[in-house]
Structure 1
Amino acid sequence: MQLFSRIFLAAALISAPLSTQVFAKDAKPAAATEAKTFTAFAAASMKNALDEANNAYTAKTNNKITASYAASSALAKQLEQGAPADVFISADTAWMDYAIKNKSVNPDTRVDLLGNSIVLIAPKDSKITNVEIKQGFDLAKLAGDGKITTGDVKAVPVGKYAKAALEKLGVWASVEPKMAMAENVRAALALVSRGEAVLGIVYSTDAKVDPGVKIVGTFPADSHPAIIYPVAATANAKEGTADYLNFLKSSAAKATFEKYGFSYLVKPNS
């Protein structure tokens, strides 16, 4: 009888940890199932800052953000054609308005999140320095035989801001023949960084992340429309997207965006 009791007790002790292990294994997939992946369509100029913010969001929630960066114009048209995304962040209000008009985004979720400025840049070893950007300044002469690059002035936000500023300052007609249009602001930045353009007009935040360029002048804020980055959930956003949007409006996200030079336009939540 005692022998039987000892055998039964030993079997119970051996089986106890085994059942605990099975329970732990069963719990793991449940946690993994709760994690979600959201897709953000964002203006090219946001890449460095948004990548860092997204990493912080993932560390906090275990949810993953897949970001697709391009010109706001290209992203808005992709959404119109049914491209799957959960969030759209535009570098201007016009392309967000376009997305709302085409019912690509949920207008009730729209928030003007960030601000920026545009600057004149040159390759880091350029002799051009300290350009006073004012009414009638001779930008064409400054460029010499070289090209001035920015985003496509007909569609890409940075190009639209650049053209508006150059028109208001009275120099667009003289520089238009020298303009080299790029598909987005990062492409324009690369042209200057590689020395393929002698000057470029980009956002100040872009100039700060490329060691191959230097800022030689800043466009007056009143020379162009206010640079605003609105954000909104798309019309077909996954359940839970609101949590990501709330994170973008948090104090943690504010610190990240300001670190990269963006101005933060909303009162951060806790």
Structure 2
Amino acid sequence: MFKRALVSLALLVSLSTAAIAEKLTVFAAASMKDAIERAAGEYQAAGGDEVVVSFASSSVLARQIEAGAPADVYISANTDWMAYLVERDLVRTDSEIIIAGNNLVIATAEGTKPAESPDALLDERFAMGDPSHVPAGKYARTALENLGLWKDVEKNAVFGENVRVALELASRGEVKAAIVYGSDQKAVGDLVRAYVFPADSHAPILYPAAATKDGAESAEAFLAFLKSEAGRAIFTDLGFSEATE
């Protein structure tokens, strides 16, 4: 009886391990939430592995991977945090791809007229990602500095731990506006795009993705799906721009 129990336990452990192995864990930037959730669903429906996604700021996720978090794929909202993991030999560099681009906008309440300059939209409390580590916040600060406005509006800025937090603050009316990605503004129905920052006011907004160093072999299959026609259609539909490398 005891031996049978051991055999049964060993079988259960084996099956459990196999089930875990069939799951693909993806760490993705918060601004990619809608797109990656849809992509994961379509990938699974097409016969791919089950995909479990964790969303947060690119910096938080990169540091979690550095600390040993078990991720198979990392998707960043800028190239800096991907480079951070590359320098530490924590991703498979031959798997790295650019899956999408984006633009930087000011989202504010419905009824707000488009502005020719951002200063009038940022004359009261506004939200943005924390520029010390959140990619969207870094882009926003750089853009405002290049437009000669940062020193004037910095005092009004409320920093969020990721770009979706900034968006939520504006959506709830806790701030006058939020500097977010164009895809974020499109994702909510109660905010309008009042200003689009010039493309040359900040570095190109790109989303690199790669398999982690110890990630499952199937990580590359998911990355290939993101670059496929079906994957690109998801990003375009949700307001991202075409990926450029």
TM-score by length of 1: 0.81
CA offset at residue 212 of structure 1?
2.2
Q: Distance in 1 between matches of 2:231 and 2:139?
A: 26
2:69 to 57, 60, 83: 83
Q: Distance in 1 between matches of 2:36 and 2:70?
A: 19
Aligned partners of 1:109 and 1:233 also within 8 Å:
yes
Whichever residue aligns with residue 130 of structure 1, its letter is: P
Q: Distance in 2 between matches of 1:163 and 1:266?
A: 23
Q: Is the partner of 2:46 in helix, strand or coil?
A: helix
Counterpart in the other structure of 1:19: none
TM-score by length of 2: 0.88
Matches within 5 A, 1:78-157: 78-124=64-110, 128-133=112-117, 139=119, 141-144=120-123, 146-157=124-135
Q: Distance in 2 between matches of 1:143 and 1:107?
A: 40
Q: Distance in 2 between matches of 1:198 and 1:151?
A: 15
Sequence identity percentage:
43
CA offset at residue 266 of structure 1?
5.8
CA offset at residue 239 of structure 1?
2.3
What are the Cα deviations for residues 180-220 of structure 1, in whole angstroms up to 9, with x where unaligned?
00000100000000000101100000000111211111001
CA offset at residue 74 of structure 1?
0.6
Matches within 5 A, 1:1-270: 36-124=22-110, 128-133=112-117, 139=119, 141-144=120-123, 146-265=124-243
Whichever residue aligns with residue 165 of structure 2, its letter is: A
**Mind listing any 5+ residue stretches in structure 1 that lack a counterpart?**
1-28
Q: Is the partner of 1:264 in helix, strand or coil?
A: coil
Q: Distance in 2 between matches of 1:34 and 1:44?
A: 24
Q: Distance in 2 between matches of 1:87 and 1:220?
A: 31
Aligned partners of 1:123 and 1:194 also within 8 Å:
no
Q: Which runs of 4+ in 1 moved over 6 A?
A: 32-35
Aligned partners of 2:101 and 2:244 also within 8 Å:
no
Aligned partners of 1:249 and 1:266 also within 8 Å:
no
Counterpart in the other structure of 2:11: none
What are the Cα deviations for residues 65-86 of structure 1, in whole angstroms up to 9, with x where unaligned?
1011111011111011000100
Aligned partners of 2:121 and 2:176 also within 8 Å:
no
Q: Is the partner of 2:193 in helix, strand or coil?
A: strand
Q: Distance in 1 between matches of 2:63 and 2:127?
A: 23
Aligned partners of 2:163 and 2:180 also within 8 Å:
yes
Q: Is the partner of 2:195 in helix, strand or coil?
A: strand
Whichever residue aligns with residue 190 of structure 2, its letter is: G
Q: Distance in 1 between matches of 2:39 and 2:168?
A: 23
Q: Determine which structure has more spread, i.e. the larger CA radius of gyration.
A: 1
Q: Is the partner of 2:35 in helix, strand or coil?
A: helix
